């Protein structure tokens, strides 16, 4: 009797439904697709491509032109040290000087003083310097002590003859005369039209300074001759405009 009860109990246990194991996962519902996000991604890609195309087209409208990096006085020319190239937007109403024409520009003269930082245009230059009638420009190479400190464009100076060799021989009277003439005034008033900046390459040597003066035409020959002999000293004086 006990054996049957135990057998029956085992049968009942076998007939009970099996529980799912802990490791089994329940099926998940399929993910919903979002067409709006996909469309937005495509739109962003198209906008990026359009922006890149616009930049390329705009870059094609830019041209390389001449820009002044150091002040160019009236009557002076463009050099390798006072200009550079820049890219600007092309404009048919502005007569930019293309960088490809910079060599030809060096043969022209500035009509008036051109400040540093401006983009050069054709109207700034001419075949002649545009100096006033009866005026001339003379270049000097001055040693330290032959020019005042802080000399700048626009200053008015007097040019003196110093250290002359003429009259080095002769008696006392002639020696006194030569001493007087050796320090005579060559030009009472001359305008400084060019002097290099501190970083300019226009220094003749470690001590010499290249200066350009605008003077009366009848004084130019005497000043140039004295300058070639290194016999010129400049003194800053009050000027009149």
Per the model's pLDDT, the better-predicted residue between 15 and 107 turns out to be 107
Measured CA to CA, the distance from residue 232 to residue 212 in angstroms comes to: 13
Measured CA to CA, the distance from residue 130 to residue 133 in angstroms comes to: 9
Q: Which two tokens stand for residue 38?
A: 């996909």
Per the model's pLDDT, the better-predicted residue between 7 and 191 turns out to be 191
pLDDT single digits (tens) 170-211: 334 344 444 444 469 999 999 988 887 655 444 444 467 888
Q: What mean pLDDT value characterizes the chain?
A: 75
Q: If you average pLDDT over residues 36-58, what whole number do you get?
A: 75
Runs of H (alpha helix) within the chain: 2-15, 35-60, 102-105, 172-182, 217-228
Strand partners for 191? 156, 214
The pLDDT assigned to 23 comes to 54
The pLDDT assigned to 66 comes to 95
The pLDDT assigned to 47 comes to 82
pLDDT single digits (tens) 70-84: 988 877 889 999 999
Could you tell me which residues come within 8 angstroms of residue 117 by beta carbon, excluding any fewer than 6 positions away? 67, 68, 69
Measured CA to CA, the distance from residue 120 to residue 67 in angstroms comes to: 6
The pLDDT assigned to 6 comes to 53
Tell me the backbone φ, ψ of residue 198, rounded to 5 degrees. Answer: -65, -30
Q: Enter the pTM of the model.
A: 0.43
94 vs 1, 88, 120, 122, 167, CA distance in Å? 121, 11, 10, 9, 59
pLDDT single digits (tens) 80-125: 999 999 999 888 888 899 999 999 999 888 877 788 888 999 888 8
Which domains does the chain show, CATH number per domain?
62-126 (3.90.1210.10), 135-236 (no CATH)
Q: If you average pLDDT over residues 219-233, what whole number do you get?
A: 90
């Amino acid at each position: 009797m006990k054996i049957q009860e135990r057998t029956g109990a085992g049968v009942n246990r076998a007939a009970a439904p099996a529980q799912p194991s802990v490791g089994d996962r329940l099926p998940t519902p399929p993910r919903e697709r979002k067409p709006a996000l996909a469309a937005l991604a495509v739109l962003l890609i198209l906008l990026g491509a359009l922006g890149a195309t616009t930049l390329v087209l705009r870059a094609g409208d830019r041209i390389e032109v001449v820009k002044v990096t150091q002040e160019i006085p009236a009557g002076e020319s463009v050099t390798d040290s006072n200009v550079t190239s820049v890219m600007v937007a092309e404009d048919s109403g502005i007569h930019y000087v293309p960088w490809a024409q910079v060599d030809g520009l060096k043969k022209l003269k500035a009509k008036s003083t051109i400040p540093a930082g401006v983009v050069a245009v054709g109207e700034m230059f001419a075949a002649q310097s545009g100096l006033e009638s009866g005026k001339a420009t003379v270049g000097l190479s001055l040693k330290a002590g032959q020019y005042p400190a802080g000399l700048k464009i626009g200053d008015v100076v007097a040019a003196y003859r110093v250290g002359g060799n003429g009259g080095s021989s002769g008696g006392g009277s002639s020696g006194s005369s030569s001493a007087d003439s050796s320090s005579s005034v060559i030009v009472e008033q001359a305008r400084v039209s060019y002097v290099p900046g501190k970083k300019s390459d226009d220094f003749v040597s470690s001590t010499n300074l290249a200066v350009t003066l605008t003077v009366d035409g009848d004084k130019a020959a005497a000043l140039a001759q004295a300058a070639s002999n290194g016999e010129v000293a400049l003194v800053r004086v009050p000027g009149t405009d």
